[in-house]
């Protein structure tokens, strides 16, 4: 995914409208006041964005949107759990300023979700207590508190106003004012397990980019000259456009009028064709061209809150609950009337108040402009029962969504909610809560931090949460949010433990979304800091931090004893391999897994439940399409190709040769023995690489490094291209008469080094300094000095040679490599030319490990220069450092709002797990995209069923064998997990197993393995089989693997292949073989 493009259309300023009244107020924010810390205006320009801090968010929003946000002042009113969640995300996002408002004081009921207040703050103003904590999140965003009532004059200074704790009367009054004055207005609130968001961005709100996706491009092979011209794209990839999209063109030969034309609206005709309107007056098309998708501005019209209450437009949160938004729309209004009448909300699970609420609903609904014809009384009862509750996961969900709407309002980036969004999580309640409702006293508590959560779930459930043992794997963005939520929920706060592990340290780029970290935490261990910060939010939170990578190397830590005491695992990982490893462990130990991930504004949640659902690994995304080798080497046509080529160059020049040299220096004989065993021409190539690193290209002085870099420039951007054009001249035709350089093949040109061109010096400067670092030579960061040295380098004129083979496609290259080999004499000659160990004594050489986020190490400087020079060879538009870092560094775009929402959804699923729900329909897998916005939920997929004989099984099933057996005994006797024969002698046990096996399964084991080691097979030599038959299984494993079984291992896993009674192969579960203590 590449960086998001800056729009070419200008937009109205987000500064206050000239028609607004200029009323002076002592409480008015001084927008020109300098923040105590560095601000975006520090150098007199709000357009200077700290890319080191905001890098991951910039890949989501883009520079233009970030600049607009940096010009926006935001007011957030109401600093309970929801308000502080919104404020946290908005401050992290990087607006100009945030003013937090609350007239009320901290109450005990706030402590279940307001993570910036403590028990000691009860009785203090919420906004004032929260101000300092929010200020720490982002040094570029001034945060100020306001504790007086909101007035219209006070609102004038803000571009966006957010209300979270206002009455309907105040919402309407301030909403009307904001609509009139052109101030973007958002209302958000949660009541128990119900929440809603309302947006009013004015009469004519311009959306510059509705979805945030990278604009598509497609290579053109033909364009018809017609009243509705048809564009045909080359057939190696679908164009991906949709009817209604707009495109423009570049590099079209012949019909040149299309190049950089005004965007044309298209109609898709097929996967490789689309029409672009009248082309009859244009020139004849000859060849080539690229069609580029253009994001066109869209104008959206919003009604004021008052008007929209009477005639609401809904964004659906769950397509299985499409009838609920209308009911909840009226219910929230009724709740406000109830509160006005009783000066309180309905009491938790109180029948009297609920009956009053239902009566009032019927009365209000009857005369409501948005009247509901059929109201779900069960839903309304649940609404009344839990509406006085307050839980952190709901605040995270609604807070993440609302904060993203604030960013949309500031920037015009992404499609806003139009205009009402309702969400509920009633599935979190215990099964059939209305018919099995406990006594009302179960939900009552006073002056304790979980009372708002107890009001929904009851005291017994709170005690159960406190005893939970969880394993949080990862302490990055998702991990930080998880720990915050668990702490607020009271998980592991009374007998249980949350274990969190992460081996990474904190970097500056983490601070933009991993909100438990502060600037002074940079370079500290993530898990330690996150654990301490979450415990500070709730001193009763029992969290233990580890610094381990999860994998086979730490199974002595996360062993049987560790997993057996867990209630569940929550993944907070950023790579597929670790996710799949943890998934396998959870399946083996039969533990629930809460899986989640984000990609920019997209997020997903998956709940894995033993014996009910499929596992995370059961379904996978298709692999990313790889770039053909020949495209990278000789025929690139996109900046992604040149960046991958540059990454490969970095590895091939600064990493792999030094790796080989270190191996050779540590043990020459072993290195040579291993190298000569490689296939094809690899031994010769490997030894030549080693010789270049230790002899031919080994520098002694920094001047040698510059000399090498200058010649490396010549070889790659001049000589190689000239040889390619010698083999395939620009006017060459294929056997079918088509120009060779057409379609995806771009005809290159060589680059002549010029010290006056900055890009050329960039390359030599970075390459020379990296070469010096690799050999322990002092670097020279004086650019002028390096330029002078490069100018003095004598470069031999290159002459293309006949007989050089250049492969046109990967199949040719593969066929050539298969026929290639290594001449033993040539290999011997290279080996003998290597210096002796005596000559290499004291040699310093170390591989450079690519690190994208350190701007001082010159790694990205080399990649950018290398890629853009390659792009210049092929006339490919270059990429700046920001975009290059995204692609070459394989960065995952990220933003705090999505993380907040996704982790909120994860914790709602956690409630269900703790409740012990065994009905899969109550669980929700989710996919969200805040840019659209889109919310999709579905019940998890059942674990697929397999069958042998008449026995059904799934990935959660296995055979259980307890106690030592010989291989012969094992082959004859094992039984399914529901039967245990742990008593009696070994002979009695095996006889019993024999009977069970023969009676129930009638299977013959044909192969038996443990890990990658084959223990038995039907084709194994008879002597070896006989030798192994009398060995105990544990002994056999140690003999075959040549490793002792670690003391922490309580059970072995055996994979078996079996034949049924008819001799046919059947798939069966694995065997868990529990060792004798």
Q: What is the 3-state secondary structure (H, E, C) of 427-480?
A: HHCCCCCCCCCCCHHHHCCCCCCCHHHHHHHCHHHHHHHHCCCEEEECCCHHHH
Whose CA is closest to 636, among 815, 816, 867, 801? Answer: 867
C-alpha 842: how far from chain center: 45
Contacts (Cβ under 8 Å, ≥6 apart) of 382: 193, 426, 429, 433, 434
Helix (H, G, I), strand (E, B) or coil at 604: strand
- The vertex-836 CA angle with 831 and 837, nearest 5°, equals 120
Q: Helices in 491-610 by DSSP H: which ranges?
A: 526-537, 560-564, 576-589
Q: How far apart are CA 954 and CA 957, in angstroms?
A: 6
597: three-class secondary structure by DSSP:
strand
Task: List the catalytic residue out of 199, 388, 410, 630.
Answer: 630
CA distance 901 to 748: 48
Where would I find the H helices in 168-297? 168-181
* Residue given tokens 């540059």 in the structure block: 646
* 3-class secondary structure, 206: strand
Contact 361, 337 (CB under 8 A): no
Bridge partners of 267? 275
Phi, psi angles (nearest 5°) of residue 946: -115, 170
How far apart, in whole angstroms, are the C-alpha atoms of residue 648 and residue 569? Answer: 37
Which ranges in 14-147 belong to alpha helices (H)? 51-61, 63-69, 81-93, 126-135
Sheet holding 73-77, edge to edge: 143-146, 97-101, 73-77, 160-163, 184-191, 194-200, 420-424, 314-315
Long-range contacts, stretch 575-584, CB < 8 angstroms, 24+ apart? 576/620, 578/473, 578/549, 578/550, 578/551, 579/616, 580/616, 580/617, 581/550, 581/551, 582/473, 582/550, 583/608, 583/615, 583/616, 583/617, 584/615, 584/617
As to burial, measured by CB atoms within 10 angstroms (0-12 exposed, 13-18 middle, 19+ buried), residue 73 is buried
Q: What is the dihedral of CA 588, 942, 457, 167, to 10 degrees?
A: 130
CA dist., res. 810 & res. 152, Å (int): 69
* β-strand partners of 952: 947
Beta 290-294 vs 273-275: how paired, if at all?
Answer: unpaired
Bridge partner list, 931: none
The two tokens of residue 221 are 């092979």
C-alpha torsion sign, points 799, 805, 810, 814: negative
- What is the spatial distance between Cα 835 and Cα 698, in angstroms, rounded to a whole number? 12
Nearest to 870 by CA among 627, 641, 630: 641
CA distances from residue 312 to 321, 326, 383, 856 in whole angstroms, order as listed: 17, 8, 20, 54
Question: Which of 849, 854, 852 shows the shortest CA–CA distance to 889?
Answer: 852
DSSP state of 654: I
480 is a catalytic site residue: no
Residue with tokens 């300098």: 34
Distance CA 930, CA 404 (A): 7
Burial of 804 (0-12, 13-18, 19+ CB in 10 A): exposed
Residue 717 CA to residue 759 CA, distance in Å, equals 12
Rounded-to-integer distance, Cα 322 and Cα 324, Å: 6
Spatial distance between the Cα atoms of 693 and 654, rounded to a whole number of angstroms: 10
Report the catalytic residues: 630
């Amino acid at each position: 995914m590449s960086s998001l493009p800056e729009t070419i259309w200008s937009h109205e300023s987000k500064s206050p409208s000239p028609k607004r009244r200029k009323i002076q107020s002592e409480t008015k924010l001084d927008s020109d006041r300098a923040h105590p810390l560095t601000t975006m205006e520090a150098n007199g320009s709000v357009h200077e964005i700290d890319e080191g801090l905001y890098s991951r968010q910039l890949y989501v929003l883009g520079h233009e949107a970030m600049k607009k946000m940096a010009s926006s002042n935001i007011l957030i009113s109401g600093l309970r759990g929801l308000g502080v969640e919104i404020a946290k995300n908005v401050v992290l996002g990087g607006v100009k300023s945030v003013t937090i408002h609350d007239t009320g004081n901290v109450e005990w009921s706030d402590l279940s979700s307001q993570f910036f207040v403590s028990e000691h703050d009860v009785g203090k103003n919420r906004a004032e207590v929260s101000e300092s904590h929010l200020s720490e999140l982002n040094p570029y965003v001034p945060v100020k508190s306001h504790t007086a009532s909101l007035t219209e004059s006070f609102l004038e200074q803000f571009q966006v106003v957010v209300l979270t704790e206002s009455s309907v009367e105040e919402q309407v009054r301030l909403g009307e004012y904001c609509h009139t004055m052109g101030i973007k207005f958002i209302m958000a609130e949660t009541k128990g397990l119900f929440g809603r968001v309302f947006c009013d961005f004015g009469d004519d709100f311009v959306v510059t980019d509705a979805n945030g996706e990278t604009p598509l491009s497609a290579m053109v092979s033909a364009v018809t000259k017609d009243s509705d011209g048809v564009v045909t794209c080359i057939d190696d990839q679908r164009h991906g456009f949709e009817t209604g999209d707009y495109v423009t063109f570049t590099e079209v030969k012949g019909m040149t009028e299309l190049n950089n034309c005004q965007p044309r609206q298209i109609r898709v005709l097929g996967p490789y064709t689309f029409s672009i309107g009248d082309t009859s007056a244009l020139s004849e098309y000859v060849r080539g061209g690229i069609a580029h998708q253009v994001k066109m501005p869209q104008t959206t019209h919003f009604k004021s809150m008052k008007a929209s209450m009477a005639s609401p437009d809904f964004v659906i949160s769950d397509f299985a609950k499409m009838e609920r938004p209308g009911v909840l729309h009226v219910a929230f209004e009724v709740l406000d009337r109830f509160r006005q009448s009783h000066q309180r909300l309905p009491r938790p699970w109180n029948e009297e108040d609920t009956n009053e609420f239902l009566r009032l609903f019927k009365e209000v609904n009857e005369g409501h402009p948005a009247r509901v014809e059929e109201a779900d009384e069960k839903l309304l009862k649940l609404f009344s029962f839990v509406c006085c509750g307050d839980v952190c996961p709901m605040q995270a969900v609604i807070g993440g969504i609302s904060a993203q709407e604030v960013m949309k309002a500031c920037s015009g980036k992404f499609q806003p909610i139009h205009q009402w969004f309702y969400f509920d999580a009633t599935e979190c309640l215990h099964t059939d809560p209305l018919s099995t409702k406990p006594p009302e006293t179960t939900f009552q508590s006073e002056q304790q931090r979980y009372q708002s959560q107890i009001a929904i779930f009851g005291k017994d459930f709170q005690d159960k949460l406190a005893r939970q043992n969880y394993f949080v794997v990862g302490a990055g963005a998702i991990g930080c949010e998880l720990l915050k939520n668990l702490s607020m929920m009271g998980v592991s706060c009374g007998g249980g433990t949350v274990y969190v592990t992460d081996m990474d340290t904190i970097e500056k780029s983490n601070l933009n979304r991993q909100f438990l970290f502060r600037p002074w935490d940079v370079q500290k261990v993530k898990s330690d800091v996150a654990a301490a910060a979450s415990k500070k939010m709730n001193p009763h939170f029992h969290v233990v931090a580890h610094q381990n990578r999860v994998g086979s190397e730490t199974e002595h830590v996360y062993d049987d004893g560790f997993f057996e005491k867990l209630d569940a695992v929550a993944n907070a990982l950023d790579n597929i391999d670790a996710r799949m490893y943890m998934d396998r462990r959870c399946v083996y130990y039969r533990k629930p897994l809460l899986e989640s991930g984000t990609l920019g504004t997209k997020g997903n949640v998956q709940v894995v439940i033993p014996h009910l659902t499929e596992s995370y690994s059961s379904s996978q995304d298709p692999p990313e399409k790889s770039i053909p080798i020949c495209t990278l080497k000789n025929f690139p046509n996109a900046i992604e190709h040149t960046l991958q080529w540059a990454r490969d160059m970095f590895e091939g020049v600064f990493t792999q040769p030094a790796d080989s040299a270190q191996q050779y220096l540590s043990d020459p004989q072993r290195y040579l023995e291993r190298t000569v065993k490689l296939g094809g021409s690899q031994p010769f190539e490997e030894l030549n690489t080693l010789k270049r690193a230790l002899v031919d290209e080994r520098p002694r002085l920094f001047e040698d490094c510059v000399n090498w870099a200058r010649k490396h420039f010549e070889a790659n951007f001049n000589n190689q291209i000239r040889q390619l054009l010698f083999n395939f001249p620009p006017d060459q035709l294929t056997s079918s008469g088509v120009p060779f350089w057409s379609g995806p093949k771009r005809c290159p040109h060589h680059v002549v080094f010029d010290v006056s061109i900055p890009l050329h010096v960039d390359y030599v400067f970075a390459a020379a300094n990296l070469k010096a670092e690799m050999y322990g030579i002092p670097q020279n960061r004086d650019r002028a000095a390096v330029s002078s040295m490069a100018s003095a380098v004598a470069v031999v004129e290159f002459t293309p040679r006949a007989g050089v083979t250049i492969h046109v496609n990967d199949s040719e290259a593969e066929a050539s490599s298969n026929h290639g080999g290594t001449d033993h004499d040539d290999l011997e000659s290279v080996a003998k030319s290597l210096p002796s160990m005596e000559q290499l004594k004291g040699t310093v050489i170390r591989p450079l490990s690519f690190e994208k986020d350190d701007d001082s190490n010159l790694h990205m400087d080399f990649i950018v220069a290398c890629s853009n020079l390659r792009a210049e060879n092929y006339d490919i538009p270059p990429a700046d450092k920001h975009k290059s870092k995204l692609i070459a560094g394989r960065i995952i775009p990220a933003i705090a709002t999505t993380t907040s929402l996704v982790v909120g959804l994860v914790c709602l699923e956690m409630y269900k797990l703790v409740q012990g729900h065994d009905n899969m329909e109550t669980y929700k897998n989710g996919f969200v995209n805040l840019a659209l916005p889109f919310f999709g939920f579905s019940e998890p997929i059942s674990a697929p069923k397999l069958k042998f004989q008449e026995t059904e099984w799934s990935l959660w099933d296995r055979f259980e064998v307890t106690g030592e057996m010989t291989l012969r005994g094992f082959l004859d006797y094992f039984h399914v997990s529901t039967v245990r024969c742990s008593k009696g002698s070994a002979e009695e046990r095996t006889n019993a197993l024999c009977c069970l096996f023969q009676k129930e399964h009638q299977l013959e084991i044909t192969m038996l393995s443990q890990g990658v080691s084959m223990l038995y097979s039907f084709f194994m030599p008879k002597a070896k089989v006989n030798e192994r038959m009398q060995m105990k299984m544990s002994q056999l494993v140690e003999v075959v693997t040549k490793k002792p079984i670690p003391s922490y291992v309580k059970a072995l896993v055996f994979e078996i292949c079996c034949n049924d009674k008819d001799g046919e192969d059947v798939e069966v579960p694995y065997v868990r073989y529990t060792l004798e203590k």
